[in-house]
Structure 1
Amino acid sequence: MIGQQLSGRYEILNRVGGGGMALVFKAHDKLLNRMVAIKVLRQQFVYDEDFIRRFRREAQSAASLSHPNVVSIYDVGQEDDIHYIVMEYIEGSNLNEEIKNRAPFQVEEAIHITCQICDALDHAHQNQIIHRDIKPHNILIGRNGRVKVTDFGIARAASSSEITQTGSVLGSVHYFSPEHAKGVTQGAKSDLYSLGIVLYQMLTNKLPFSGESPISIALKHLQENVEEPRKVNPLIPQSVENIVLKSMQKNPEQRYQSAKQMLHDLESCLSPEKMNENKLDFNDDLDDEEHTKIMPVIGLNRKVQEMDHDETIMPALREGRKRNRFGWIKPVIWTFTTIIILFSAWYGVKAVLGMLEVADVEVPNVVGKTLEEATEELENVQLRVLDPVQYEYDDQVEEGIVIDQSDKNKTVKVNYPITLTVSQGQETKIMEDYIGMQWIEVENDLKRLGFTDENIEMITELSDVPNGQVINQSPVANSKYNPNNVSVSFTVSEGRGSFKMPDLIEYSEEAAIAILEQKGLTFKVERDFDLDMPKGFVFKQFPYDPGVPVKIGEEITIHVSEGEPADVKKTNHPVIVSPEIEGEDSKIEITITDAKGTDRFWNTKTITTEEIFYVPVVLTPDLPNGTAYINVYRNQKHFGRFDVKYDEL
C-alpha cells in the first residue's frame, strides 16, 4: 500500500506496525498537512459484515474520548475493500518494546507510566467506555515521554467476532482478567486487573502467569495465586506491591473500585510515610470450584473376603481365624474411604467439565422489535443483552426499535452477550442564532457540529454592517433541523467595500509601504531582530493575514527585521554517528533545539558505516541554560543528545 492515497487525502508513507487484526501505516494528511497513523483492517476480516459494522461503531465510540493520554481518532473510512481508522501519529515506541529493552524499570518510572495509563482509563470509564485489551502493545510512549493509550473499543469488536488470530489471543491472554477468562461481562475493574499485570511486568521483567497454551494461562488467572512482586524484585516498596496485588485480586470486589481510586494510591505510594506501610491482607472469597483441587493418589486395597465356617479347615487355622474375627473392620473402612474419595474426584471432574462444556444455542433475529421484546426473546433462549445497549439516530425507524444486532442466526454458547443497537428516531437539533457574529466564528462552529463544505453556503453582499458579520441565515434561529439532511445558507456583509489583504512577507520596507498606500490602507512600522529575515525586510504583518478580506482605511502593522542580534553565535557542530550493526543500513534522524525553535527537524540519512554530521546551530544568551541541544535517533530509537553551550563558542 506504500504510495497509495486513501479518500484522495491520506498518502501512505511506510508501515510502522501491525497485529492480529490490522496493519498500521504512517501517512500524510494532505488536507491538514500533518502526519497521521492509519490502521488498515487485514484482508481476511473484510468479508464479515457484522465484524466491519461493529469495528466501525466501536472506533466511532472511542473517537468521543478527548484526553492527553488517549490516542485521538480523527476519521473512520472505507475505500473499495480497504477499511481504515485514521489516528494521531505518535513518534516513539510502545511499552512492550521498552519492557523488552529496559525492564525491570526504576520504581519511579513504572509508577509515572502507570499513573498516565490510569488517568486515561478513568476518563474512558467515566464516558462508559471499557478498553478490554490493556497490554503493553497498546501503550505508546512518545519521544517527549508522554504515555498514550490506543485501541479503545477495538478489542470489543475483535472479541465479538468469530474470526480469531491465535497469535493475537496468545499475546492478550497474559493480561486477561479472571472474568474475561470465564467469558462473563467485563467492566472497569477488568481494565484495572490488566493494568496491574502491566505494572507487575514493568517492575519485575516477567509475566505473573505463563503456560504452553492460551487455555492453560487463562486457567492460571482463574486458579493460581500470583508470585508476590517483592519476591522477584526486593527493591519494590511495600506500598507499590500492595497496589499491584490489590489490582490483581481474582474477586473483582476486592480490587480497586475505580480507576480514580487506583490513581490516588499511585500518586501517593512513593511518599516517605507510605513506602513502608503494612502488607495488605486479602480474604480469599473465591468460589470453591475456582480453586485448584489436589487429588491424593490412592492404591486400591485388595478385596477382603471373610471365610465361612468350614469344618474341614484345620483346627489351628480355625483358631487363628477366630482370633482375627474382627480384623475385617479396618479393610472395610479403607474400602469405603477409597470409594468416597474416588466418587468425590469423579464428581469434581464432572463439575469442571460442566463448566468448560457450555450448551450451544441459535441466536434469534430480533431486529425490528422493541428493546423490551428483544431482551425477553433473547433471555428465553438463555442469552443476554450486552450492557450498555447501543443507541443510534435513524431517519427511517421509530424510537425504541432494534435496528441492528450481533451474531443473528448464528450458533453461540449459552449466556453469550448479544449487542443490540436501538433507534433513537430522527435526530433533530435547534439552529443557533448566528446573526451579528463574525463569519469565521460561525464557520468554525458549524464544522464542529459536523457540517461540511458541501452543505454550507455562504454568499456576500455590500452592507452598512461591519465587514465579515452574518446578516441573514437559513434555517432561521431556534428552528428544528435534521443534521443528516440539511443544508445551511448564510449572507455575510462585505462592508462598504473590501478586498483580499496582500502578502507583504519578504518584501522590503519601501515596497511594502508602497503596496499599502496603493491599496488605501494606513500603516505602522515596528522593528525587531529576526534570525531568518535579512535587515530591512518584512517578517510579520498584523492584524490581517494574506488573503483575509480587509476594508479600505484599515491600519496594518508591518514588522521590519533589524537582522540578527549582535550577540548571536552560529556553529556547525560535529556529531559522530555509527550504524547499529556495522555494514547494515541504519536510519539516522537529527533534530535541533536552539534559538530558532524546539525539536526542529534537520536531516535524515541512511548509513552503513560511521559518519560525521556537521549540524548548524544558532545560539543566543537567552536560551535556557545558554544551551542548544542536538538529538540523534537511530532506527527510531534515541541514540544520544549533544549539548552546545553559548559560553563555550
Structure 2
Amino acid sequence: MGSVYKAEQPAMNRMVAIKILHPKLANRKDLTSRFRREARAMSQLTHPNTVKVFMYGELEEDGSLYIVMEFLEGRNLNQTVRKEGPMAIERAIPVLVQVCGALHEAHEMGIVHRDLKPENIFLCSQGGLKDYPKVLDFGLAKVTERQMRPGSIILTQEGMVFGTPEFMSPEQAQGKTLDARSDIYSLASILYEVLTGKLPFNAKTPMEYIQKHVMEPPIPLNERVPGKTFPPGLGEVIAKALAKKPEDRFQTAAEFAHALAAFGEPGSERALPLPSSPQASPPAPPVANPSANTLRAPTRSGPGAGLLIGVAAACLVLGVVIAVVAMKFLVK
C-alpha cells in the first residue's frame, strides 16, 4: 500500500521520515494535484505541535508521490490509552490544548484535517515534556487512504466519503462540506475516549456510528463510567463541542482550548499561541469537499498493529540517505 522510511539527511544532521505513496495514485491526476496543493499548505504550517514537512515531490521512476517530514519517536494516543488506560484529566487536558493550537493555525490557513483520531496524534518527548503531541497527516488522509485500522473497508473507489466513523462529525457523516468546526467535534470525541476509555456512543458497526453521530445525543461524560467523576463543567464543555449543529459548538479551536485549559494544570494555556480572550469568529473557509472520502470500520488497533518492521537497502534521489528500516503499511 505504501512505505515509510527512516532516513538520514547528512547536510542537516537530522533524521527524517519519508512516506512514499502507492504508485497507483499517480494515475489519478485529481489526487496528485490535490496532494501537491495540500502538501504545500502543510509545509507552511509552523506550529510546534504539527509534524514538520520538509519537502515533497514525485519519484521519476514510477511517478510515486513522496513527502519528507520530521522523524518522531514515541507512540500515538490510541496506543497510549490502550496500554495505560484512560488518562488522568491533568495529563489529558494539556495534550488536547496543545493539539488545539496546531488546529488553530491550520484552520486560520483554511486547512481542515478531516480525519482526526487518536492514531493521528503522536506523543513524543520534547522540550522537557513527556507528552508532547504532534498532529499528523493534515489533509493527506483524503488522498492517501492509508494507515487504516484492521478491518478497514472501502465502500467505493470513486466519490468516496473519507473519515473514521467513531470520530466523524455529523456533517461529515452526511457528506456535507466541512470547516474547522468539524475538526472540533472530532477532537472532542477523542478527548471523551481518552478520559473514559469509551466512545460517546454505543455502536458496533460503521453505519451505527454514523447514525448516532447524526441522530442521537452523546452519552453524558459523567454517566459513561460508573463510579468515576469529573470536574463540574467539563462534561458541559465536551457536550458543547459535540453539538450536532456546527453553529452550536465552539466556533474556533482557540475557544475550545481556552475552555479546556480551565480544567488542566495551571499554565497549560501557555502552550498555545492563541488570543488571550478568543472571540467567536467565522470558521475558516472550507477546503474539504465531500466529493471523495473513505469509510473505515470501527475496529481498534493495538500497539503497533498494521505495521511490519522490515529492512530496506534502497537509495532514493531525495537528498537524503535511506536507512535500513522500513515500515510497510498493511490493511488486514
1:69-90 Cα deviation digits (max 9, x unpaired): 1111000022222321000111
Deviation at 1:42, TM superposition (A): 2.4
Query: Where does residue 318 of structure 2 map in the other structure?
Result: none
Q: Among residues 215, 223, 230, which one is paired with 2:215 in the alignment? A: 223
TM-score normalised over the length of structure 1:
0.37
Whole-Å separation in 2 of the counterparts to 1:199 and 1:32 = 36
1:390-426 Cα deviation digits (max 9, x unpaired): 9xxxxxxxxxxxxxxxxxxxxxxxx9659xxxxxxxx
Query: Where does residue 366 of structure 1 map in the other structure?
Result: none
The alignment status of 1:30 with 2:10, answered yes or no, reads yes
Gaps of 5+ in 1: 1-20, 160-164, 273-386, 391-414, 419-649
Q: In structure 2, do the counterparts of structure 1 residues 88 and 210 end up closer, same or farther at CA, with 3 Å as the change threshold?
A: farther
TM-score normalised over the length of structure 2:
0.70
Q: Secondary structure, in 3 states, of the residue corresponding to 1:238?
A: coil
Deviation at 1:140, TM superposition (A): 0.8
> Hey, which of these two has a bigger chunk of strand by percent?
1
Q: Among residues 112, 132, 152, which one is paired with 2:138 in the alignment? A: 152
Stretches (4+) displaced over 6 A:
167-171
Q: In structure 2, do the counterparts of structure 1 residues 78 and 31 end up closer, same or farther at CA, with 3 Å as the change threshold?
A: farther
The alignment status of 1:184 with 2:176, answered yes or no, reads yes
> Hey, which of these two has a bigger chunk of helix by percent?
2
Higher normalized contact order (CA 8 Å, seq sep 6+, divided by chain length): 2
CA contact (8 A) 2:142 2:162 kept: no
Whole-Å separation in 2 of the counterparts to 1:99 and 1:389 = 31
Question: Structure 1 counterpart of 2:135, which letter?
Answer: V
Q: Secondary structure, in 3 states, of the residue corresponding to 1:142?
A: strand
Query: Where does residue 258 of structure 2 map in the other structure?
Result: 264
**Percent identity of paired positions between Structure 1 and Structure 2:** 39
Deviation at 1:271, TM superposition (A): 8.1
Q: Among residues 204, 215, 218, which one is paired with 2:196 in the alignment? A: 204
CA contact (8 A) 2:94 2:265 kept: no
Query: Where does residue 249 of structure 1 map in the other structure?
Result: 243
Whole-Å separation in 1 of the counterparts to 2:193 and 2:287 = 35
Whole-Å separation in 2 of the counterparts to 1:53 and 1:257 = 30
The alignment status of 1:235 with 2:229, answered yes or no, reads yes
The alignment status of 1:60 with 2:46, answered yes or no, reads no
Deviation at 1:32, TM superposition (A): 2.0
Q: Secondary structure, in 3 states, of the residue corresponding to 1:24?
A: strand
Q: Secondary structure, in 3 states, of the residue corresponding to 2:34?
A: helix
Deviation at 1:66, TM superposition (A): 0.3
Whole-Å separation in 2 of the counterparts to 1:40 and 1:97 = 24
CA contact (8 A) 1:175 1:197 kept: yes
Question: Structure 2 counterpart of 1:267, which letter?
Answer: A
Whole-Å separation in 1 of the counterparts to 2:120 and 2:290 = 26
Deviation at 1:125, TM superposition (A): 1.2
Q: In structure 2, do the counterparts of structure 1 residues 178 and 75 end up closer, same or farther at CA, with 3 Å as the change threshold?
A: same
Whole-Å separation in 1 of the counterparts to 2:2 and 2:96 = 26
Deviation at 1:172, TM superposition (A): 1.4
CA contact (8 A) 2:184 2:253 kept: yes
Q: In structure 2, do the counterparts of structure 1 residues 388 and 95 end up closer, same or farther at CA, with 3 Å as the change threshold?
A: closer
Whole-Å separation in 1 of the counterparts to 2:221 and 2:210 = 20
Whole-Å separation in 1 of the counterparts to 2:4 and 2:41 = 20
Q: Secondary structure, in 3 states, of the residue corresponding to 1:256?
A: coil
Whole-Å separation in 1 of the counterparts to 2:291 and 2:163 = 23
Query: Where does residue 105 of structure 1 map in the other structure?
Result: 87
Q: How does 1:8-23 map to 2 (within 5 A)?
A: 22-23=2-3
Query: Where does residue 296 of structure 2 map in the other structure?
Result: none
State the structure with more CA Rg: 1
Whole-Å separation in 2 of the counterparts to 1:170 and 1:188 = 16
Q: Among residues 60, 65, 71, which one is paired with 1:83 in the alignment? A: 65
Whole-Å separation in 2 of the counterparts to 1:239 and 1:271 = 16
